[in-house]
Structure 1
Amino acid sequence: MTAQYESARREFAWDRPDHYNFARDTVDRLARERPGQRAMLWVDDSGTERELDFNHFSERSSRVANMLAAAGVRRGDRVVVLLTRQVAWWEVVTACLKMGAVAAPGTTQLSAKDIAYRVGAAEAVCVVTDASCADKVDAVAADCDTLHSRILVGGAREGWIDYDGASVSASAAFTPVDTAAEEDALCYFTSGTTGYPKMCIHNHLYALGHETTGRYWLDLSDDDLHWNISDTGWAKAAWSSYFAPWLRGAALFVHHTSGFDPAASLAMFGRYPITSFCGAPTVYRMFVQQPLADYAFDKLRSCVGAGEPLNPEVIERWRRATGLTIRDGYGQTETTLLCGNMLDVAARPGSMGKPSPGIELAVIDDAGNPLPPGAEGDVAVRVKPAPPLGLFKEYRGQPEKTAACFRGDWYITGDRARCDEDGYFWFVSRADDVILSAGYRIGPFEVESALLEHPAVIESAVVASPDPDRGEVVKAFIVLAGGYEAGPELEREIKDHVKRVTAPYKYPRKIAFVEELPKTVSGKIRRVELRDAEWRE
């Protein structure tokens, strides 16, 4: 079986068309060629079920594109999309691609301040959301100079366009824009070590770059029903809930729920014919705490995990219950799948797997030289003479941060790893201080900024702390201002404060009150010292 993978690696070549539009070249094409074929099975907690074909998304995206155009959205404009797993999310993103607008998805957990930053940084002209974020958008709209249209899904509101009514009345006739391959298509905000989130820009070929994700890792075909548990605000949704499955003609299973319940989620495998599943390690860790023998997995044939390394013991417990090995994969907001435990290659639990076809991956030293097996170094992707499809264009407005990602012929992922004699990659650590908690990417600067808005906090340092369920959680080391006393009540107050002023998933689940923070001679806080102490303990 390994021979199939090696053959794919040797023979694979990227298709690099000069023009490409996923909405036209995949969604509309599938609607024409496979009338009636299921594209999505959508269910919610109340028992509602909707089975939708590709024609639905082809037609609805055309109507939504006309609605957006009537609202003043033009080719190249940015549209912030803040929706949960409603069908409208897929309709709006497809419509943006179809008309040449740039979709900027975000989680509905964002605070009003977060939304204002994203709208302002992207110079967005339109926000599409529902009641969960409407108040927050209204609270900052006056400060967002470029924002001229607000569209509400699931109801009517003064000053907003009614998505349901306006899209239904819009024409179903729309000629897709013949977008150039290098035109902007998506804008994702990704947290870093310093400063507010960076705008990661992808071109239209990014979608086509997920051909390898869908073919070699997810191993999807047109008779699969694929379920990816991911917030629609993260790039993982673009990977596994949109581009990769539909490029392969597979249908999506979508469970629209207010919160993750491991027991309710496990019941879905017996209730619906789900054949393929993708989840963050946190999901699997919570799954294996349930009585797995009580659940049916008759149709399930493939399971993958991504976001952080998954514990080998969790992989083994899942295998004993289902007969299936969870195959880890590795990539970033800035890329498609870089490497993974492919279905036709023997998986090595705990490994990142082997490079995807079309990707030349290496562990390199500071001079850009590939290191021998077993040596730790920077995970890097060769980008010369031509980068692989799916690599981001730039961090918009931050050329110095874009340039810092490249070293000679290589793109540097910011992760450290080693490669063994057989070509499997093994994660060692991140090269920065970004925290990966339950699939969320959290920058310490954002949390520290929120903490400093509390009058009790005079200084803080935020690091990753190990957690058996979430992999990592946010821990804050806090120096108190005079007049405040450390204790459980103040700790609760500070946690609640962070939840209010920034997205709730960023709040510090652990807090330590300290007299001082470790610093360099020049006065910079040494987060690495605090983080290393956490993991040693």
Structure 2
Amino acid sequence: MAADSVDHYSTLYRNFRWEVPLYFNIAEACCRRWASETKRTAIYHEDSAGNTSRLSYAGLSKAANQLSHLLQLQGVQRGDVVACIMPQRPETAITIMACLQMGAIVMPLSFLFGPEALEYRLQHSEAKALILDSSGLDAYLSIARSCPHLQTLITVDCPHAPADFPHLEWANYLPQMPVDFEMIQTRATDPAILIYTSGTTGAPKGALIPHSAIIGNLTGFVASQNWFPKKKDVFWSPADWAWTGGLMDALLPSLYFGQPIVGYQGRFTAETAFYLLEKYKITNTFLFPTALKMMMKAEPAPREKYKLKLRAIMSAGEAVGDAVFHWCEQALNVIPNEMFGQTEMNYIVGNSHQQWPARPGSMGRPYPGHQVAVIDDDGKPVGAGVTGEVAMHRFDIHGHPDPVFFLGYWKNDSATRDKFSGDWCRTGDLAYADVDGYLWYQGRADDMFKAAGYRIGPSEIENCLVKHPAVANTAVVPKPDKERGNLVKAYVVLSPGYKASDKLILELQKHVKGKLAPYEYPKEIEFIDALPMTTTGKVQRRVLRLQEQERFKQKRT
């Protein structure tokens, strides 16, 4: 039966009901309950040098227990924040489980963060401990003295860490710890994970995620992965485990179902993607549209070259588009399921082509358990075809609390209040719904945007640029790009005494690269005499954004 002839959506959506226990802990659900099955694989790990390893659920649980003991000895208590800077490697998953089972809050941080981005998050969160490998060591050492709350540093494979810098090497201390640990009882609504999200105004906000959020993720995850898990399912995604996409859409749900996930420690390339898909017989994946585009260009007919077991693709971050959609369908024999969500309320809208038709370019329909609507400025739902802001209700259609919701922004009650209009939580994304309930993305309600799948907040980049003496004022906007969706572009007003030049552009780009994540630096800089401003002195980024869109249209005609 053709996928587009099946539509069970109404029945699935109407009949679904949440079952959330009062007491629940992610580490119990994603690790401990599988630990007795000693041969069950949790993580297959490989790095760019070809080194490989396998971690069982029993090994994951044992190491997490030992790390929990070590953290307790260092004074980490229930409710304390423990930061983690590591790529896709077993120690990352071990750290997450260790923190959660002791009632601590884990704060995953990207190894791509520069010193400035790292410093803000460590300071604002008041993290008590930090666990990192060599990928984050240099950035941390440059700002360590600015983080007085941080009492413990645990290093993983850091032989070149300064001898006079206080730290505990993982390999030296963990084996000395007891292998059994009594888990702290937590409620489903207790805080578990802290993830900072970039905004358009002010500093990044820390979204505090409860243990129950993984339960709230599951309807979308299962549906978008074509009813995961099935026998011999293996998951892989290049998404960083420090981000919501990698953590909540890949690592944790795979472990929740006791299935193996592949962790690859290296740069993404199309060749590497196909290599991993074939070698590990990967059946399920989450790939950004940018990654799919790269794979499409590198291998137009991949199944002629690779023996693939792939049966499901979820894609998110930006629209997949017709070309990639049809390439997946024809060349990979897999119809991609697009998904929409954000850190504060993840995996809420999407497709599941085996259960309801996937329409190319559509965000999909609300997943079962999530009451999603398009609302107006007054917080009232609008009719079909009317553009408004995508929002989700605190309660599902049966009046039960939705477990996927974040608890609030860390130390920012006003921002938390501003996120809601009554019981509707605003996403900041504009869309309209068609008569069949499919949502169609229309852009951001504010100035935030996606570039190559990464969420970009202009303010952090602008603040960084303004710290350079040559920059008097600046505005960062998306520049449409055929390959990446958008590029980061900065309009810069120069300070007196400075002249525009290619040399200065390179200097400003290097300035941002050294302080923020690599994907945040402006790929293009345009010097301008004055920025468009409102009468109250606010920069009108929208004017510049529309200008870039118009230029893009003119180039294509």
Q: Identity of paired residues, percent?
A: 33
Amino acid at match of 1:302: A
> What's 1:420 paired with?
434
Question: Taking structure 1 as reference, are residues 362 and 433 closer, same or farther at Cα in structure 2, changes over 3 Å only?
Answer: same
- Residues 240 and 247 in structure 2, CA contact (< 8 A), matched pair in contact too: no
CA deviation after TM superposition for structure 1 residue 386, in Å: 4.6
- Residues 220 and 350 in structure 2, CA contact (< 8 A), matched pair in contact too: no
Q: Deviations over 1:484-518 (max 9, x none)?
A: 22121111111111111222221100111111111
Q: Which of the numbers 343, 346, 355 marks the counterpart of 1:336? A: 346
Amino acid at match of 1:293: A
Alignment of 1:299 with 2:306, yes or no, is no
- Residues 362 and 441 in structure 2, CA contact (< 8 A), matched pair in contact too: yes
Q: Which of the numbers 9, 15, 28 marks the counterpart of 1:5? A: 9
Partner of 1:414: helix, strand, or coil? strand
Q: Deviations over 1:79-111 (max 9, x none)?
A: 111101111000000111111110001111112
> What's 1:25 paired with?
29
- Residues 221 and 347 in structure 2, CA contact (< 8 A), matched pair in contact too: no
> What's 2:58 paired with?
55
- Residues 215 and 248 in structure 1, CA contact (< 8 A), matched pair in contact too: no
Name the Cα RMSD after superposition.
Answer: 1.6
Alignment of 1:266 with 2:277, yes or no, is no
- Residues 379 and 413 in structure 1, CA contact (< 8 A), matched pair in contact too: yes
Give the alignment's TM-score, normalised by structure 2: 0.93
> What's 1:161 paired with?
168
CA distance in 2, matches of 1:63, 1:86: 17
CA deviation after TM superposition for structure 1 residue 74, in Å: 1.1
Alignment of 1:501 with 2:510, yes or no, is no
Alignment of 1:221-232 (within 5 A): 221=229, 223-232=232-241
Partner of 1:166: helix, strand, or coil? helix
Amino acid at match of 2:51: T
CA distance in 1, matches of 2:240, 2:38: 29
Alignment of 1:238 with 2:247, yes or no, is yes
Alignment of 1:276 with 2:284, yes or no, is yes
Partner of 1:469: helix, strand, or coil? coil
CA deviation after TM superposition for structure 1 residue 424, in Å: 0.8
> What's 1:446 paired with?
460
Partner of 1:501: helix, strand, or coil? coil
Alignment of 1:388 with 2:402, yes or no, is yes
Alignment of 1:170 with 2:181, yes or no, is no
- Residues 128 and 151 in structure 1, CA contact (< 8 A), matched pair in contact too: yes
CA deviation after TM superposition for structure 1 residue 2, in Å: 4.3
CA deviation after TM superposition for structure 1 residue 297, in Å: 4.8
CA distance in 2, matches of 1:316, 1:215: 22
CA distance in 1, matches of 2:120, 2:468: 20
- Residues 233 and 282 in structure 2, CA contact (< 8 A), matched pair in contact too: yes
Alignment of 1:347-362 (within 5 A): 347-362=358-373
Alignment of 1:75 with 2:78, yes or no, is yes
Q: Which of the numbers 12, 19, 24 marks the counterpart of 1:15? A: 19
Amino acid at match of 1:197: P
Question: Taking structure 1 as reference, are residues 214 and 155 closer, same or farther at Cα in structure 2, changes over 3 Å only?
Answer: same
CA distance in 2, matches of 1:70, 1:439: 40
Q: Which of the numbers 209, 220, 233 marks the counterpart of 1:213? A: 220
Alignment of 1:101 with 2:112, yes or no, is no
CA distance in 1, matches of 2:214, 2:175: 27
CA distance in 1, matches of 2:38, 2:216: 26
CA distance in 2, matches of 1:124, 1:299: 42
Amino acid at match of 1:441: R
- Residues 63 and 173 in structure 1, CA contact (< 8 A), matched pair in contact too: yes
CA deviation after TM superposition for structure 1 residue 140, in Å: 2.0
- Residues 297 and 322 in structure 1, CA contact (< 8 A), matched pair in contact too: no
Partner of 1:119: helix, strand, or coil? helix
> What's 1:315 paired with?
325
Amino acid at match of 2:15: E
CA distance in 2, matches of 1:470, 1:408: 36
Q: Deviations over 1:330-352 (max 9, x none)?
A: 11011121111113211111111
- Residues 150 and 161 in structure 1, CA contact (< 8 A), matched pair in contact too: yes
- For these two proteins, the number of residue pairs brought into alignment is 535
Alignment of 1:286 with 2:289, yes or no, is no
Q: Deviations over 1:254-279 (max 9, x none)?
A: 2221x222122222222221111111
Q: Deviations over 1:372-399 (max 9, x none)?
A: 1111111011114554111101011211
> What's 1:184 paired with?
191
- Residues 78 and 102 in structure 2, CA contact (< 8 A), matched pair in contact too: yes
Partner of 2:273: helix, strand, or coil? helix
Partner of 1:249: helix, strand, or coil? coil
Amino acid at match of 1:230: A
CA deviation after TM superposition for structure 1 residue 155, in Å: 3.1
Q: Deviations over 1:109-132 (max 9, x none)?
A: 112222221111111101111122
Q: Deviations over 1:409-437 (max 9, x none)?
A: 21111111011111111111111111211
CA deviation after TM superposition for structure 1 residue 36, in Å: 1.3
CA distance in 2, matches of 1:288, 1:512: 32
Q: Deviations over 1:172-200 (max 9, x none)?
A: 11011101222111000000011111010
> What's 2:555 paired with?
none
Q: Deviations over 1:408-467 (max 9, x none)?
A: 221111111011111111111111111211121121111111111111111111111111
- Residues 81 and 104 in structure 1, CA contact (< 8 A), matched pair in contact too: yes
CA distance in 1, matches of 2:48, 2:114: 25
Q: Deviations over 1:121-176 (max 9, x none)?
A: 11110111112222322222222121110010113433111012211221111011
CA distance in 1, matches of 2:498, 2:221: 54
CA distance in 2, matches of 1:244, 1:211: 7
Amino acid at match of 2:294: M
Amino acid at match of 1:181: A
CA distance in 2, matches of 1:66, 1:2: 51
Deviates more, 1:150-159 or 1:114-123: 150-159
CA deviation after TM superposition for structure 1 residue 3, in Å: 4.9
CA distance in 2, matches of 1:292, 1:313: 11
> What's 2:536 paired with?
522
CA distance in 2, matches of 1:179, 1:529: 48
Give the alignment's TM-score, normalised by structure 1: 0.96
- Residues 435 and 473 in structure 1, CA contact (< 8 A), matched pair in contact too: no
Partner of 2:329: helix, strand, or coil? helix
CA distance in 1, matches of 2:332, 2:11: 30
CA distance in 2, matches of 1:142, 1:250: 41
- Residues 213 and 244 in structure 1, CA contact (< 8 A), matched pair in contact too: no
Question: Taking structure 1 as reference, are residues 26 and 507 closer, same or farther at Cα in structure 2, changes over 3 Å only?
Answer: closer
Question: Taking structure 1 as reference, are residues 297 and 347 closer, same or farther at Cα in structure 2, changes over 3 Å only?
Answer: farther
CA deviation after TM superposition for structure 1 residue 213, in Å: 3.1
Deviates more, 1:420-429 or 1:17-26: 17-26
CA distance in 2, matches of 1:300, 1:503: 32
